[in-house]
Chains A and B, each alone.
Chain A
Amino acid sequence: MAKSLKGVSALSSLAPDIAREPPRGLEGKLRRSVRWWNTPAGSVVLQVSSLVIFLVIWELFGRLPRAIPIPTPDQSLQAGLSLSPLGFLHDCLLSFYRVGLGFLIGAIIGIPLGVVIGYSPLARGLLFPAVEVLRPVPPIAWIPLALLFFPNIEGMIVFLTFYGAFFPIVYNTIAGMSGIPEMYIHAARSLGSGSWTLFWRIMVPAMLPSIFTGLHIAIGIAWLMVVAGEMVAVTGGIGALTWQAYQTTHYPLIFVGMAAIGVLGYVSSQIIRALARFVIRWDIS
Chain B
Amino acid sequence: MRASRYSRRMELSLSVLSIGLLVLVWQALVYLHVYRFAYIPSLPQVVESAKDYVFSSDFVSDAIASAIRVFVAWIIAAVVAIPLGLAIGWSKTFSDLSLPTLELLRPIPPIAWIPAGILFFPNIEGSVVFICFIGAFFPILLNTINGVTQIEQTYFRAARCLGAGQREVFRDVVVRGAMPSIVVGLALGMGIAWMALVAAEMIAGQYGLGYMIWRAYSLAQYPLIIVGMVAIGLIGAGMSVCIRLLGRKLTPWQNR
Interface positions of A (Cβ within 8 A of B)? 37-38, 43, 46-51, 53-54, 67-68, 70, 121-122, 124-130, 133-134, 136-145, 147-151, 178, 180, 182, 220, 223-224, 227-228, 231-232, 239, 242-243, 245-246, 251, 254-255, 257-259, 261-263, 265-266, 269
Contact = CB atoms under 8 A, between A and B. Distances in A.
Interface string B203-239: 1000000100110110000100110111011101100
Contacts of B112: 227, 239, 242, 257-258, 261-262
Which bucket holds chain B's interface residue count?
A: 35 or more
A261 to B, nearest CB: 5
A38 B109 contact: no
Specify which of A51, A53, A121, A263 lies most central, judged by the most chain B CB atoms within 10 Å of its CB: A121
Nearest to A265: B107
B64 interface: no
Contacts of A265: 107-109
A237 B251 CA distance: 45
Contact of A49 (B39, B97, B109): B97
Contact of A246 (B107, B118, B217): B118
Interface in B4-32: 5-6, 10-11, 14-19, 21-22
Contacts, number: 178
Q: Lowest 5 CB-CB distances: which A-B pairs, in order?
A: A125-B14, A246-B115, A46-B96, A144-B217, A138-B195
A129 B15 contact: yes
Interface string B112-130: 1111101110100000000
B202 interface: yes
Contacts of A150: 36
B237 A128 contact: no
A136 B36 contact: no
Contacts of A140: 111, 195-196, 198-199, 202, 210
